[in-house]
Amino acid sequence: MDLFAIAFYVFAILIIGSAALMVFSKNIVHSAFALMFTLAGLAIFYALLYAGFVAVTQLLVYVGGILVLILFGVMLTTRGYFEKVRTRTVNLIPATLFTAIIGLMLILVFVTTDWTLMPLEEGEVTMTGLGELLLTDFMLPFQVAGVLLLLAIIGAVLMAARTRPPQQTPNPQQTSPTEKQQD
């Protein structure tokens, strides 16, 4: 067994274990961190397939961006992140049947497919060509996408920072307008 096969099996176990922990955890913060390990393991799979750009994008966008957004959203809620999530099982029999059918179909496809082994070739660097394209031919769409993302971030910050109008509490030292009219 070569190094790539060992790395594949190690990270496959990591991904499956962290995905199971993410699904079955009662604590939402633990689920978010398990999601982080799942997404990082997928980035390592991309790197093993010589897809360096996709691996880095996976780390930056999903692990670095989306997951941090989820954690901040959870931690900034008023209910707090210490509470346990209460779940109940709904439609257990149809879900089990559906999962079993899909699993059997996947196993059938895996067994009946004529898999051909191809030698693994040394990967080529694809990021240089992509970078040249983004800064020459596709400069305008790249900049427009950046401005749209910036506007989305500003809009999200403004929506999150919206404050409720303060509730006025009666002050015993102040007289109400009706008391002033009675004097």
Q: What is the pLDDT of residues 101-118, one digit of tens each?
A: 999 999 999 999 988 877
Q: Please give the tally of structural domains in the chain.
A: 2
On whether residue 146 sits in a domain, the answer given is: yes
Tell whether 72 and 130 lie within a shared domain.
no
Top-ranked range on mean pLDDT: pick from 83-97, 129-143, 161-175:
129-143
* Polymer length of the chain: 183
On whether residue 138 sits in a domain, the answer given is: yes
State both tokens at 135.
């800064």
Q: Are 125 and 52 in contact (CB under 8 A)?
A: yes
Show which of 88, 113, 141 is a domain's final residue: 88
On whether residue 101 sits in a domain, the answer given is: no
Tell whether 33 and 79 lie within a shared domain.
yes
Show which of 37, 71, 88 is a domain's final residue: 88
Among 24, 22, 29, which Cα is nearest to 81's?
A: 29
If pLDDT is split at 50, 70 and 90, which confidence band does 97 have? very high
Question: Which domain does 139 fall in, by range?
Answer: 124-159
On whether residue 50 sits in a domain, the answer given is: yes
At 108, give phi and psi (nearest 5°).
Answer: -60, -45
On whether residue 115 sits in a domain, the answer given is: no
Show which of 88, 108, 138 is a domain's final residue: 88
Tell whether 78 and 155 lie within a shared domain.
no
> What distance in Å separates the CA atoms of residue 133 and residue 142, rounded to the nearest whole number?
10
On whether residue 22 sits in a domain, the answer given is: yes
Q: What is the mean pLDDT of residues 62-91?
A: 71
Q: What is the pLDDT of residues 14-31, one digit of tens each?
A: 999 999 999 888 888 888
On whether residue 78 sits in a domain, the answer given is: yes
What CATH number did the domain enclosing 71 receive? 1.20.120.1200
Tell whether 82 and 146 lie within a shared domain.
no
Tell whether 130 and 60 lie within a shared domain.
no
Scored b (16 or more CB within 10 A) or e, 58-91 reads: bbeebbeeebeebbeeeeeeeeeeeeeeeeeeee
